[in-house]
Amino acid sequence: MRVLLVDDDAELVSMLSDYLRSEGFEVDSASDGESGAAAALTGQYALVVLDVMMPRVGGLEALRQIRQHSRVPVLMLTAKGDDIDRIIGLELGADDYVPKPCLPRELVARLRAILRRTTSQAEPTSSNQPLTAGELTLFPDRHRVEWRGSPVELTNAEFQLLAALLRAGGRVLSKQELSEQALGRPHTRYDRSVDVHMSNIRQKLGAGSGPHAPILTVRGVGYRIILE
């Protein structure tokens, strides 16, 4: 429950820190992307909240540095209506985003959703048997994915989306179902998170959207996994 807030807005950081502590979180902060990335890589935090616009090293560059060495969940704070930063952040490996100005209650809800996903991966359950589809294998208990025998590094959000598709057994899952099952929140009309995460998964599998891609887009509906 230890969170790192990385934002150069001291007033906002103070307000969010107080609210998060009242909700049971431990909170540390950094005021620029360089120190924030360094702190995030210490392994001391369950979550990182990272603002996009900061001096010296911005949030997107900080995220890039973090993802080179760590899968720690990252939630981006983006300017309201700035879809470009949101998409770039998701493409770089952010788990989720919240537009600024944000309500502390919404931020906490998003953080708890991410924590539920990451915590469930560590809990032994009967659903932790390997999931397979052709040359794709996902190991829920080990947070490991193999494609054609080689390991694939996925973020927590990407891992959960792929697991949801595999558990569906070839059935089409709508974006609403995928968002609720894998991201822990409802899908909204202009939210492109699921699409961007799916694009990232395809690229990491090296399969793109061609005839051998294991993930099929069902236009106007959602996605399904190819089982053979």
Q: Could you tell me if 5 and 59 are in contact, meaning their C-beta atoms sit under 8 angstroms apart?
A: no
Q: How confident is the model at residue 213 (pLDDT cuts 50, 70, 90)?
A: low
User: Where along the chain do the CATH 3.40.50.2300 domains lie?
Assistant: 2-122
Per-residue pLDDT at 175 exceeds 90 = yes
102 Cβ partners below 8 Å, 6+ apart? 77
3-state secondary structure of 96: strand
What's the pLDDT at 226?
A: 87
Q: E-strand spans in 21-149?
A: 26-30, 47-51, 74-79, 96-100, 131-133, 136-139, 144-147
Length of the chain equals 228
| Average pLDDT for 112-127 | 68
Q: How confident is the model at residue 124 (pLDDT cuts 50, 70, 90)?
A: very low
What's the pLDDT at 117?
A: 79
Mean pLDDT for the chain? 88
Which amino acid is present at 2? Answer: R
Q: E-strand spans in 153-219?
A: 173-174, 215-218
Question: CATH top-level class for 126-225?
Answer: mainly alpha
DSSP state at residue 136: E
CATH node for 2-122 = 3.40.50.2300
Helices 59-67 and 33-40: angle between axes, nearest 10 degrees: 20
Per-residue pLDDT at 107 exceeds 80 = yes
User: What sign results for the dihedral spanned by CA atoms 62, 63, 69, 74?
Assistant: positive
User: Where along the chain do the CATH 1.10.10.10 domains lie?
Assistant: 126-225
| Average pLDDT for 125-137 | 79
pTM for the whole thing? 0.78
What's the pLDDT at 207?
A: 59
Per-residue pLDDT at 82 exceeds 90 = no
Which H/E stretch holds residue 224?
Answer: strand 222-225
| Average pLDDT for 135-143 | 89
What's the pLDDT at 42?
A: 94
Q: How confident is the model at residue 148 (pLDDT cuts 50, 70, 90)?
A: confident
| Average pLDDT for 108-132 | 75
Tell me how far apart the alpha carbons of residues 91 and 113 are, in angstroms, rounded to a whole number: 20
What's the pLDDT at 12?
A: 92
Helices 10-22 and 104-122: angle between axes, nearest 10 degrees: 60
What's the pLDDT at 56?
A: 79
Q: How confident is the model at residue 212 (pLDDT cuts 50, 70, 90)?
A: low
